[in-house]
């Protein structure tokens, strides 16, 4: 037929001519065959894009190095993966956190505070072959600490003492590792600035890698006495929710900033209305304004953000707009964070201030109207310490995160009356009580265990079949639970979600004496307890 010669610029066809017919034309069939040959050769040479099936599979995203992202772990605030629980408390190391100056509220006198305070629970990041603790302390600094040795990698300066728990957030689109993880935390306003100063901006973010500041958010003055930030911000469904003491919750994009009056600030996506009423201002008088402060941290489930306020409310906010969609008013002071149980209920601690009813702990069902939301109320003795008249200042804890359904559902909390208590969430006693909120008479849950720890404003931590609690008796307490199978007819038996019944025995396994009162929430992680103390030290107990 003929001969094809290829070149990179194309193909050359030498036409075949039969002898004696120098001017005859190629038959149509021949033309078709030659054309097919040309196309085949062209396709063989031309570079082709791979078929969709031939594309390499996208690499799976790297697992997050953040292990404990915020106070009590995350969105529901009901616990975090602790790993195994410790069997005893022995000192591995302690770090001197130092001290810092701050302005005492009652008389505005400058005083020195040591160590760490409420809530003061470290967060945890595992990166570069190390387990890192991040802790804000009374020395005005956020510390990045090697959890194995207690050595400090960096310290970042804040304007005042740091009380609350920081929050660690990962930006998957960050251009460099120095900006991939950021740490957001608050402090008191700064004693060099008077209340009302527009330059007060204690909510700040720094790079996890370097400790360098990335942005800060100014906090406005309202009828509340304070412009501090004690809350632990919450990362939830692509936004950071940040309460400030003056009565607002901000919804931020922590990875986008703008410069306002020379200050690099995060982009504000939404802000709640002021979370108090005119009646609250009158009912909660305090030096320098009214006691309306939001010192709690937000929790979240579904389309709602939950927050408690010193104005005496438990609010449910629409997560997109931050408008109030649910409001349970107690009239008391509330500093504890609302904890969301696995069945969607809220555990809320109540202080004695501003109310005639006993203070204590509520379980609320926020799927119901406030007037019918009370599940039970556990009252505490009206006995106070320091500035607290009674009740529970810290948050309640639940064993949901360590319960696979085979153990009774329990809650634990401390009181300023001097106690730590564990109660059943499912079995009620023969008592009823009127709590400081709508709904009238409420059942009182059965108490499983109580112990004297000198009063406390901290929160217990469940870890496996054990619990750690701290208080003003200057000790870290380790308790163990023993579960013995029982019959349904046993009057002391407690049910578990899987239908079985148990007797629960609680005993103290060990304790460790520190050099001062303990206000901070312990962190239990992989068999180790980390807790800051007012004696100036962070303790590592193993």
Query: pTM here?
Result: 0.89
Query: Looking at the predicted structure, is the pLDDT value of residue 234 above 60?
Result: yes
Q: 532, 385, 372: which is closest to 455 by C-alpha? A: 385
Q: How confident is the model at residue 509 (pLDDT cuts 50, 70, 90)?
A: very high
H/E element, 102: strand 99-103
Tokens for 250, please give them.
Answer: 């901000």
Q: How far apart are CA 95 and CA 145, in angstroms?
A: 9
- Residue 71 corresponds to which tokens in the numbers above? 């106070």
Separation between Cα atoms, residue 384 and residue 223, nearest integer Å: 27
Band of pLDDT at residue 419, cut at 50, 70 and 90:
very high
Work out the end-to-end distance of the chain between its first and last CA atoms, rounded to an integer number of angstroms: 88
pLDDT band at 91 (very low <50, low <70, confident <90, very high): very high
Tokens at 225, concatenated: 């006495």
Angle (CA) 295-301-305 rounded to 5° is 40
- Architecture of the domain delimited by 69-79+98-541: 7 Propeller (2.130)
User: Given pLDDT bands bounded at 50, 70 and 90, which one contains residue 56?
Assistant: low
Domain ranges of the chain: 3-49, 69-79+98-541
For the segment 348-365, what is each residue's pLDDT rounded down to a tens digit?
999 999 999 999 999 999
Is the pLDDT at 275 greater than 70? The verdict is: yes
Expressed in percent and rounded to 5, the helix, strand and coil fractions of the chain are 5, 45, 50
- The alpha carbon torsion through 458, 223, 332, 232 (nearest 10 deg) reads -30
Instruction: Check if the beta carbon of residue 537 is closer than 8 Å to that of residue 80.
Output: no
Is the pLDDT score of 2 beyond 80?
no
CA atoms lying within 13 Å on the CB side of residue 135: 35
pLDDT > 70: percent of the chain: 88
Is residue 457 within 8 Å of residue 415, measured between CB atoms?
no
Give the angle subtended at the CA of 234 by the CAs of 411 and 377, to the nearest 5°: 25
pLDDT at residue 355 in the model:
97
C-alpha to C-alpha distance for 381 and 452, rounded to whole angstroms: 13
pLDDT at residue 37 is higher than 60: no
343 vs 36, higher pLDDT: 343
Q: Highest mean pLDDT range out of 28-37, 45-54, 430-439?
A: 430-439
According to the model, what pLDDT value does residue 352 have? 96
| pLDDT in the model for residue 28 | 46
pLDDT mean across residues, the chain: 90
| Whole-number pLDDT of residue 106 | 76
Q: How confident is the model at residue 386 (pLDDT cuts 50, 70, 90)?
A: confident
């Amino acid at each position: 037929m003929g001969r094809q010669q290829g070149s990179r610029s194309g193909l050359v066809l030498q036409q075949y001519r039969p002898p004696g017919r120098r001017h005859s034309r190629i038959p149509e069939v021949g033309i078709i065959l030659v054309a097919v040959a040309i196309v085949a050769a062209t396709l063989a040479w031309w570079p082709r894009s791979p078929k969709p099936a031939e594309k390499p599979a996208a690499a799976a995203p790297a697992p997050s190095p953040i292990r404990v992202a915020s106070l009590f772990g995350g969105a529901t605030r009901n616990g975090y993966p602790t790993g195994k629980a410790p069997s005893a408390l022995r000192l591995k190391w302690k770090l001197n956190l130092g001290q810092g100056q701050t302005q005492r509220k009652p008389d505005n006198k400058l005083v020195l505070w040591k160590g760490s305070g409420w809530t003061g629970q470290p967060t945890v990041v595992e990166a570069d072959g190390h387990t890192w603790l991040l802790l804000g302390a009374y020395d005005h600094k956020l510390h990045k600490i090697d959890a194995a040795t207690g050595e400090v990698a960096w310290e970042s300066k804040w304007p005042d003492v740091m009380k609350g728990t920081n929050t660690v957030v990962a930006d998957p689109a960050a251009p460099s590792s120095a900006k991939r993880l950021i740490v957001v935390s608050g402090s008191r306003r700064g004693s060099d600035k008077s209340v009302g100063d527009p330059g007060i901006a204690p909510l700040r973010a720094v790079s996890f890698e370097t400790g360098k500041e990335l942005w800060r958010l100014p906090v406005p003055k309202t009828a509340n006495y304070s412009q501090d930030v004690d809350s632990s911000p919450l990362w939830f469904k692509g936004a950071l929710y940040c309460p400030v003491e003056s009565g607002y919750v901000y919804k931020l994009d922590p990875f986008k900033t703008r410069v306002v009056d020379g200050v690099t600030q995060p982009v504000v996506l939404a802000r709640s209305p002021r979370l108090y009423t005119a009646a609250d201002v009158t009912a909660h008088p305090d030096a320098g304004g009214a006691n309306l402060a939001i010192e709690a941290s937000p929790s979240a489930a579904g389309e709602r953000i939950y927050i408690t306020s010193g104005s005496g409310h438990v609010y449910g906010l629409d997560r997109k707009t931050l408008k109030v969609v649910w409001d349970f008013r107690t009239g008391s002071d509330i500093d504890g964070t609302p904890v969301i149980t696995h069945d969607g209920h809220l555990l809320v601690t109540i202080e004695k201030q501003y109310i005639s009813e006993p203070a204590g702990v509520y379980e609320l069902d926020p799927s119901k109207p406030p007037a019918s939301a009370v599940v039970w109320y556990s009252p505490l003795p009206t006995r106070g310490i320091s500035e607290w008249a009674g009740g529970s200042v810290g948050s309640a804890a639940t064993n949901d995160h360590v319960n696979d359904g085979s153990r009774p559902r329990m809650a634990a909390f401390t009181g300023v009356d001097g106690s730590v208590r564990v109660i059943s969430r499912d079995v009620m006693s023969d008592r009823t009580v009127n709590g400081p909120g709508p709904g009238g008479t409420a059942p009182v849950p059965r108490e499983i265990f109580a112990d004297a720890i000198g009063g406390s404003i901290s929160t217990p931590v469940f870890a496996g079949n054990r619990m750690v609690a701290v208080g003003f008796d200057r000790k870290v307490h380790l308790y163990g639970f023993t579960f013995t199978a029982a019959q349904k007819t046993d009057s002391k038996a407690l049910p578990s979600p899987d239908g079985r019944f148990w007797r629960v025995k609680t005993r103290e396994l060990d304790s460790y004496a520190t050099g001062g009162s303990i206000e901070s929430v312990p962190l239990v992680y992989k068999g180790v307890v980390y807790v800051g103390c007012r004696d100036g030290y962070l303790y590592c107990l193993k």
